[in-house]
Every structure is written in structure tokens, then in C-alpha cells.
Structure 1
Amino acid sequence: MAPGRLRGILVLVLQALLVVAVGLPAGFAIAPAFLGPGRPSAASPATPPWQQMPATPGASGGSGGLGPLSDAAPVPSATALAAQLNATLKTDGGGTFTGIVQDAVTGHVLFDRAADEARVPASNMKLLTASAALRVLGPDHRFSTRVVAGPTPGSVVLTGGGDVLLGAGASDPAAVLGHAGLATLAEATVRALQNGAAGATSGDKSGENSGGKSAGTVSVLLDDSLFSGPSLSQAWSPEDVAAGETAPLYPLALNSARFDPAKTTGPRPQDAAMTAAEAFAARLTTAAAAAGLSVAPGVARVGPGAVAGDAKVLAEVQSATVGEQVDLMLQTSDNYLAEVMGRMAAVGAGRAASSEGAIATVMQQLKDLDIPLDGLHAADVSGLAPANQVSARQLTDVVRAMTSGKDTRLRAALDGFPVAGLTGTLGGRYTDAATAGGAGLVRAKTGTLNTVIALSGYVVDADGRLLVFSFVGNGLTPGAANKAALDRSASALAGCGCR
């Protein structure tokens, strides 16, 4: 068969499998431990129903999706499972892998390779941050970006409230990135100004309107004082910051502090709040012209306390939900969004919205989830810092809390796990013969630094048993083919009928 045709068939198969994969979290909504239909009968086809392509595509949670699983499905044999993983979990060059596999329902450990050894987790750190944000803020919480009346007549203050996924155009209710738009905010601000909500403009001290329109000038101020402490962590490499892995943190930004929403690599704005404020001022200028108003050039930043706490709100736009933002953070492994989410969780917990406050909030939430913190050290909440130390067991404890724990708010993170071979940071993996068995089935958070890779997530095995796992490699040879070892291991779990 020609390679092009074979690849086309593979793409169709993976797209169909995605329907099955996205149905997995729907089962959690029905029962925390994936409870439901029992094992397939002897008359069932060789491929179990939860690993078959659906006859027709269906939306997640619909008739085409996967129903809940049974807690009576057989648990893999630890001995048989270890034999498979010991054959796949091998480094290419230097370094070592640690790992653990647990039964999600009971927590029983099925595979343990130095699972309690604290290691650099890379972006698997975001799993900890996701759990903290969902617990403190709740999956349905939204962040507000407001324009309030300024301290002088005719001035307005753009106030950051934690939404760094602002779009420059109109608000898009169907989107996560760009759910709240600056053009929509500007138009609402002009309507408020037309009604005299901000008092007299600088060119119309009487405050009187002519034909329903104020003839004056509006000045724009920026209040981004919600966050405190340094905007950059000393735990981050300056080279990583320069490369755009993150940027100075502010409580409002366009496109998660990206110049172009379509480009997720390369340098970022170094003052994302001012970049957003200048974009707002430009949109306000356009909207104000039709109302007989003008906008003064430039944006001035004001400090904490410069705007009265009871200042009149002229306009407001709200972000996508925290649950949706967490899913985007996990899918794309966005360091900037993760750090902001940590600081907003700190605000929700009554702590300072600083790096230290974010770390303290994450650690407290892990403690409240009864996850042992022995050896765990958090230098940031995104995983960019090489000083982070987390064990594979602690990572699976978090994944298990999301899949099967008592706090159902954590279920909101499950859609955010990339699907092998299909979505997010796993979209380009699981395409060869050794790993294709996990395509569409494995759901896991990736992690990559120069000498570090990690993969933590969940999968339903061939017998219908839900397994959680974490594999972490440290001290690896840069550029070596080590991701394949993780993918082969996760694929082995998906195909396991290990008894």
C-alpha cells in the first residue's frame, strides 16, 4: 500500500477514535470511578467496545461516546504489567526513568519504579496547579476585565482582573482564547460615556451633551495592580524568558501574552498589560469617533489605590470559565497561563497574588487532598523552573484525584488532557507501529525540558479497567529519542489484558 494512502487511513482511524476518547470524561460525570456496564461477554468481538471505532460519530457525552465502566473489570497482574513496561521504559542514552501505574478505583499499585523519588517534573507541574485552581476558584468561575470611572472627569481606567486570554476584537462566546474582546469592551465604554456615566470629559467641563453626544476628550489609564511581587521568577532561566517560554506576569493580556494568537512560539510582549491597554485605547478611539468623542493619545499606568474601590463600573467583559482555561492550559502547556492561574488561585485563597502566594496555595490544596508532600518542592507553578521536585507517585495521586476522587470539581480538568495522536501536545505523537495502539486512547499531560521528559495521565485498558500512570525521565541525553519510550509504555497500558 502506498505510504500516502496508509497515512490517510490512519488519520481517519484516529479521528474516529477521538470520538471514543472524548467520551471518556463523560463517564466521570455519571460515576466518579467509571462505574457502569460490566465486562464484555464471550460473544463480544475481539476488540472491546470501549476501544472500537463508533459506527457513527457523536458528540462527547452523546450516544456516540463511551458510557461508564465497571469496577468489576479485571485488574491487570502486576507481574505481567511489569514485564511489559520494563521492556518499553528504557532510556535512549543517559539518564533514568521512574514510574508508577495504579488502579484508579482502588489505588492499588501495579507498577513501581522508584516512584517516590523526587524528580524534575517539567510541565507535569501544571497538573498540581490545575487541581488548586479548580478547588479554590471552582470550574465555573470567570475573571472580569472592567473599565471604571477614573479619578478625574473624563478619565477611564482599564482594570485587569486576571483574564490574560483577551482578544483584540469582539467577544467570542464560543471561544476560550478571545472569549472576552477589547472591541466589545470599548463599545460598551462609549455607550456609558454617552450617558454621562464618567462625568464631564476634559473638553466639556459643563458635562452637557449636544445631541446625545459629549464633545470632549477621554483619557485612558491602566490599573494592573492586582498582582504583587516580581513579575518574573528568579527560578526561570533568562534564556527561556527571551525565547518566549514565559514573560513578565500581569493580570490582563492579549492572547496569553502573545503578539499573534496564531503563533504560540517565539518572544512575547514584555509588558503584556500595557500592550493590551494600548489595543483597548485604539479600539476606544474608533468607537468614540462615532459618538463625537476623542481619545487622548497614550495610556498612563496608575498604582495601587489610585482608583477608588467604589469607582463606577462603566463596562465589563468576562473570561471563559476557569474549567475551560484549565483545559486550554493543559492542552497547550502554556506556562504564562499556568502562572496566572496560580496567582488567581492565590487571590481566591486570600493570599497575595505573587509567585510565593501561588506556590503556597498549590501546596495547601495538595495537602487538603491528602496527597503526601514528602520531597515535593515547588519553585514555580508552571514547571518551567528546573528546581521543581515532584515524585511520580505524587503526580498519579493528582491524576487519580481528578478521575476518581471525592472532589468532583476536579473532573473539569479531564477534557484538558491531550489525546494521544490527536490533540494538544500529543497531537503529533503515537503515529508509528510501536505506539499506534495508544492513539485515541491514552490521555496524558506532557512535560519537556532540556534533559527532562514526563508523561502523566489515564487510560482504559483492554479489559475495561481505568489506570492512572506517571513516567518521569531525568538526566536524559538532549535530543535523544526518549519520548518514544514513554509513548510505547502508555500504549502498552492501553492494550493490556495483563493477567
Structure 2
Amino acid sequence: MTNSTGGEQLRARPPRRRGSAVKGSGTSWPLALAALVLLVLAIPGALLVAPGFRGPDAPAPAPTPPSWQQAPATLSAPQVLATLQPSAPTPVPAVVAAQVEPVLKADGGGTFTGMVQDALTGQVLFDRGGAEGRVPASNLKLLTAVAALRTLGPDHRFTTKVVQGPAVGQVVLVSGGDVLLGAGESRPGQTMGHAGLATLAALTVQALQAAGTTGEIKVLVDDSLFTGPALNPNWQPGDVEAGEIAPVYPLALNSARFDPAVTTGPRPEDSAKAAAEEFAGRLRAAGAGAGLTVAAGVERSPGGAQTTGAVLAAAESATVAEQVDLMLQVSDNYLAETMGRMAALATGRPGSNDGATAAATAELAAAGVTPDAVKLVDVCGLAMGNQVTARQFTDVVRAITTGADARLRAALDGFPVGGLSGTLDTRYGDATTSGGAGLVRAKTGTLNTVLALSGYVVDADGRLLVFSFIGNGLTPGAAGNKVALDRAATALAGCGCR
């Protein structure tokens, strides 16, 4: 059927089927929702995968370090003590006493004596029983240092030699007073181990090769330099057992220690033979490729070699000055006893304990220190029978610091520094003594009932003061006694006592 109206021909629309989707119809929303869900789920995955395509993130910039960790733009001026001026004011004795008296108190039993002097003039600034003889403990090593430096000289060295033995095939290790020998190679920059047995053995093998020597070698040892008892009867058996001291010989490794790093506990009972046995082992190793063998065991040379055999090799110790410094810094008893005996030999006395004590007393007088009331039964200070006054110690420190004998200046570096070195390294750390840290330089002394401190300090006005404080009859282990000594020395360091 057609409709002619409007000049256009129209076609009838077919009927719509049920369920069919037509564009723009409301039935298309489930597909859109599904697409939205897939998109939401894909975003986190894309974020996880994306770094793999674009590489790692750039590292965060490092934070700027604080100013105290940054390199300085300029170097600060060195901080050193000002040059001593003789014109610096001398402290007033009454003011010094007012500073020292309240702090120099015993913790429990016992008493302290003390003396303070002006180093340049000798004027006494403090005196509490300064003329009273006291057990000085290791402060006695100051007297031994003076004796060694005066008789031997700061630059003297001890020589350990190897010589031809009295019979064919024998070599003799001859002691020369060096008890700081090392087992290995010589270490020229060190005091302990300056001369090494491995080096000495290598030189010996070279000499034997040059002489055409082959076959078996027997090692002997000559330690006849020292005489008299090797173990002082004035030493307590407990101190020997604890390793404070050992029988004294003129030849030893590590100051008669098995290990230089272990300074407590047992020591070799015969340090000379122990050193000779070590030398024999080093000689055996050095001679293995040179047609030389070394017999087992070491014997003493009958009657001493007396240096009559041809010298095959020699090694020199550190200087006396260097050894004195070590002795004072660590308070080495064995080294002190050796130094005393070597000083005795240098003055024509026997190398014995009696010779050592006589030499120390004589050199005290020669250095201008009155030896009245001095009683010495050893030269390391381990014995309780020694007697020295605080006045004599201040006179000794004056002789070292400002006296006429310039050789004694070599001992200055040996004084431990409060809070920094040697036997004072762990002291001067609390609020009452920290003012003396780095300023107080003093030799310590410690026995069960004895504490001592003798040394020097520059006061707040630039005046050099010398002091000695000695406690006897003290309560063993009482913590306040060392603090009392340190407080007294600290008071001097901060003293503008006018």
C-alpha cells in the first residue's frame, strides 16, 4: 500500500524482536561495568611492572654532614704550652698549702708525706714530712734512671754478640745487657725488639759460611756479666710468682716475658737460657740451606767466653735513653734491675744487686741530691726495705728538669702523662682530677700499702713546679688514695697561687 501525500513513498517498519540489544538501549550497562572493573585491576599491576621498563629510581641525595664532620676550610693554630718564663710569678707557699692540704688525705689507714718546690729556684712551696724516709715503691726508678744516664750516657747501646766457641763446632751467644731482645727480625724503630735474634742468627750463618764451616753447630751461652744472686731475697715470693719480677740475667727476650704483649703472669725462670734456646732455633732455621745443623740443647759456656773468640755477628740494643723512657713509662721492674747493674759495671762495681744499689746512691750524690737517710735494697722499688724522702725525689726531678747535667733531660719523655700515657693513662678522668689531664707528668709507685707520685707540672701562671707525694701504711685497695694523689697534683696544675 502506498501513500501519495507529500510526494514521498514510505515503507512500513518491521516489529522489534524481544531480547535484542539495540544501540542506546539501557541493557548495555553490564558490559561497561565489567570493563571498568578490569581497568581498576590493571592499574596496580602496571605500577608494579613499570619500574622494570624504566630502570631504578635515582638515589636520594645524601644529607649534608654536620659541620664538625666536614673538612675544615683552614687549619686551626696549634695549641701548645707557652714557653716557660723565668719571670712567671712564684706561688705563695701558704696558698699552695691551702690547695694541697685538703685533698691529700688517706682513705682509711696510713699517711701521706709531700713536698712541692719551684723548679728553677728550689724554693719549698709545700712541706708535709718531706724529710721523712718512706717506702717509695716504683718512684725509686727515678734514682735508677739518673744513675743509668749519668754512668752509661743517653746514647749508649748494649751489644749482644756471637763468637767462636772454645771448641770446634761451637758458637757462644755472649750477653751484653740487652734484655729487650726480640725473637724475630731486628726492629730499628722500636725499643723492645730493637735487636732481633732472627737477624743475629742470619748474620752468624753468613759468617760461618764465609769461614767454610759445615756440619753440626753447638750453641753455648755466656751470661757471666752479672754476678751475685739472680733473685733478690728482699722480694716477696708472691711478687715473683705473680710475675712482677724474675731472676735477673744480662740477656733476655721481651724484658724476661714469654710474650711482649702479656705483661702479667709467669716469666721464664732462666731468661738467659731461654733466649739462647730461641737463638739456637733461629740459627737452625737460617742454617738449614747452608749445610749447617744445630745440636739440640743449650749449655752455659764454662767460665764465660770472656770475648776471646772471634766475633761472628753482633746486634745493638736501643739507646739507654730509649730504654730509660720505657722503664719509666710502664714501670718495668726487670729492666730497672738490669739498668742498675749496668750502671754498676760502668763505674767499676760488680754487676750485682749490691753494686746496683751502691751505684744509684753514689750517682744521687753526684747529681747534687743529698743521699742522707737513703736506704736501697733494690733498684726497681719492689722491696719494702727501701727508704727515700719526698724531698729527695723533688730534688731528683729538679735535676732532671732544670739541673746542670743535660744528660738527665733524656728522662723527661719517660714520665707518664696524666690521662694519656703509661701508668697514668687511665687516671685523671673524673671531675676532681680532669684539670690535671695532659698537664701532670709523674712517675707512679704502687705496692699493697704504698702509693707514690713524683713529677712536675706547669701551673696556671706558667711556673714549673716539681712535687712528690708518698703514702705509707695505706689501706690496701682503698680507692680514694690514688684519687688523693691525683687531686693534689691537679691542684698544682690549676694553681695561680698568689
Q: Which TM bucket (shorter chain)? A: 0.7 to 0.9
Partner of 1:452: 450
Given candidates 461, 465, 485, the residue that maps to 1:463 is: 461
Give the whole-Å Cα distance in 2 for the aligned partners of 1:308 and 1:327: 31
Alpha-carbon contact 1:219-1:296 (below 8 Å) kept? yes
- Corresponding letter in the other structure for 1:186: A
Q: 1:93 to 1:55 in 2, by over 3 A?
A: farther
Amino acid at match of 1:427: D
Partner residue in 2 for 1:270: 269
Please say if 1:188 is aligned against 2:185: no
Residue correspondence of structure 1 range 29-108 to structure 2 within 5 A: 55=76, 66=81, 68-108=83-123
Q: Find the counterpart in structure 2 of residue 118 from structure 1.
A: 133
Q: What is the CA-CA distance between 1:55 and the residue it aligns to? A: 3.9
Whether contact under 8 Å (2:174, 2:305) holds in the other structure is: no
Q: Residue 254 of structure 1 aligns to a residue in which SS?
A: coil
Deviations 1:285-319 (CA, angstroms, capped at 9, x unpaired):
00000111111111111243x42543211000000
Residue 168 (str. 1) matches residue 183 (str. 2): yes
Q: Which residue of 2 aligns with 1:234?
A: 233
How far the C-alpha of 1:367 sits from its partner, in A, is 1.3
Equivalent position of 1:253 in the other structure = 252
- 1:56 Cα deviation after fit: 5.9
Give, as a single letter, the amino acid of the residue that structure 2 aligns with 1:247.
A
Q: Which has the larger radius of gyration?
A: 2
User: What are structure 2's unaligned runs of at least 5 residues?
Assistant: 1-74
Q: Which residue in the other structure is 1:390 paired with? A: 388
Q: SS in structure 1 opposite 2:374?
A: coil
CA deviations 1:249-308 (Å, max 9, x no partner) are 00010000001000111111110011100000000000000111111111111243x425
Tell me the alpha carbon deviations over residues 87-141 of structure 1, each in whole angstroms, 9 at most, x when there is no partner: 1101110100000100000000000001000000000000000000000000000
User: Using a 3 Å threshold, how does the CA distance of structure 1 residues 308 and 119 change in structure 2: closer, same or farther?
Assistant: closer
SS at match of 1:252: coil
**Between 360-369 and 407-416, the greater mean CA deviation after superposition:** 360-369
Cα displacement (A) at 1:488: 0.5
Verify the 8 A CA contact 1:430 1:436 in the aligned structure 2. Answer: yes
Whether the 8 Å CA contact 1:225–1:303 is kept in 2: the answer is: no
Question: Structure 1 residues 82, 173: CA separation in 2 closer, same or farther (over 3 Å shift)?
Answer: same
**Distance in 2 of aligned mates of 1:166 and 1:346:** 21
Alpha-carbon RMSD? 1.2
In structure 1, what is the equivalent of residue 397 of structure 2?
399
Residues 37-90 of structure 1 show CA distances to partners (whole Å, capped at 9, x for unaligned) of xxxxxxxxxxxxxxxxx9466xxxxxx654631100011111111011011101
* In 1: Cα distance, 2:198 partner to 2:412 partner: 32
> Hey, what's the Cα distance between the residues in 2 that align with 1:369 and 1:342?
16
Percent identity, aligned pairs only, is: 66
If the length of structure 1 is used for normalisation, what is the TM-score? 0.83
Q: Using the alignment, how far apart are the partners of 1:94 and 1:345 within structure 2?
A: 38
Distance 1:461 1:55, change over 3 A: farther
Gaps of 5+ in 1: 1-53, 58-63, 197-208
For the pair 1:178 / 2:204, whether they are aligned, the reply is: no
Distance of 1:117 and 1:440 partners within structure 2: 30
> What is residue 362 of structure 1 aligned with on the other side?
360
Distance apart, 1:154 and its partner CA: 1.6
Task: Say whether the 8 Å CA contact 2:163–2:307 is kept in structure 1.
Answer: no
Residues 452 and 475 of structure 1 are in contact (CA less than 8 Å); yes or no, is this contact kept in structure 2? yes
Tell me the residue number matched to 2:472.
474
